[in-house]
Amino acid sequence: MKNVVLPVQNHNPNMTTLELSAILAAASVGAGFLGSLTGLGGGVVIIPLLTLGLGIDIRYAIGASLVSVIATSSGAAAAYVREGFSNIRIGMFLEIATTLGALGGAAIALHVAPSVIAVVFGCVLLYSAYQTFRASPADHENVPEDRLATRLRMNGTFPTPSGVRSYNVKSVPAGFGLMALAGVLSGLLGIGSGALKVIAMDRVMKIPFKVSTTTSNFMIGVTAAASAGVYLNRGYIDPGLVMPIMLGVLGGSWLGARFLAAARTRSLRIIFALTIVALGAEMIYKGARGGL
């Protein structure tokens, strides 16, 4: 089997294309599963795997991650919409802000040093974990109606083990502003900005956590597609990386969609937070040392 030739900084020269593809596909199944459950999109696992584990240039890692984010959204969003978790009206409205932000972030990323991107990436993840740990266990029950959210018909329902539960949405302008920032981070970091989207909906707009994560899954594909076009135009999307990652993430996101309905909200928050704490700390460390 021919040895693999990829845009890497440090890698095993004896690793074949088949061996690398198998590693990427296996890891991507886990990334897709986690991204589907938490609304992260899988990019927070894919990028550290490629840059820290395999020594691949972070811009190519971001390009592959953006495609994996689109795959996660495609694999999980349809199931979540069918099961009644995702709020389509919220997703379509907030996607206006994230798409515009993603285009700007992707343009910025092409002119920023990889080590700087890595440190920003890590800081975003650590802040996301902090906000998740601060989340209330009540999951935003009995939130009063907001006039703007009601006019936009954003309030909705979602299934629970005890029956269908209704919820109200608040602070729409603040949520819209945070979504623009999430879009910039998506284009800059290649993560689909699911972490910040979930936090904006969960903490600011008071949307129940399961609705936040599933609506984030619905949104991240559009956001990632907007910035992926910029990376594709600059040649930072490598088919040898993208194909096994995309297939693995699709399978993992499908499994995550099957698992989410029965999962406890508190457990999802803990998984979300612990995962991104570990990855965020590692990215900051490597970026600060100039190891990316």
pLDDT digits (tens, 9 = 90+) for 44-53: 677 777 887 7
d(CA 241, CA 20): 9
Mean pLDDT of 160-175: 86
d(CA 268, CA 290): 33
Mean pLDDT of 159-182: 86
More confident residue, 279 or 60: 60
> CB of 124 within 8 A of CB of 292?
no
Residue 14 has pLDDT above 60, yes or no: no
Q: If pLDDT is split at 50, 70 and 90, which confidence band does 1 have?
A: very low
For the chain, give the percent of residues with pLDDT over 70. Answer: 77
Q: If pLDDT is split at 50, 70 and 90, which confidence band does 269 have?
A: low
Q: What is the pLDDT of residues 66-94, one digit of tens each?
A: 887 777 676 667 777 777 888 888 988 98
d(CA 203, CA 292): 32
**Sign for the pseudo-dihedral over CA of 4, 8, 12, 13:** positive
The pLDDT, as a whole number, for residue 254 is 76
The pLDDT, as a whole number, for residue 39 is 61
d(CA 56, CA 118): 13
How wide is the angle at C-alpha 62 spanned by C-alphas 11 and 53, nearest 5°? 30
pTM score, whole prediction: 0.64
Mean pLDDT of 130-155: 74
| 153: phi then psi, degrees, rounded to nearest 5 | 55, 50
Mean pLDDT of 208-219: 82
Average pLDDT, whole number, for the chain?
76
The pLDDT, as a whole number, for residue 163 is 82
Residue 289 has pLDDT above 50, yes or no: yes
The pLDDT, as a whole number, for residue 192 is 59
The pLDDT, as a whole number, for residue 5 is 45
The pLDDT, as a whole number, for residue 265 is 62
Q: Please tell me the least confidently modeled range out of 84-88, 140-144, 191-195.
A: 191-195
The pLDDT, as a whole number, for residue 195 is 67
> What are the DSSP calls for 191-244, one per residue?
STTHHHHHHIIIIIS---HHHHHHHHHHHHHHHHHHHHHHHHHTT---HHHHHH
Q: What is the pLDDT of residues 222-247, one digit of tens each?
A: 777 777 777 888 888 888 888 888 88
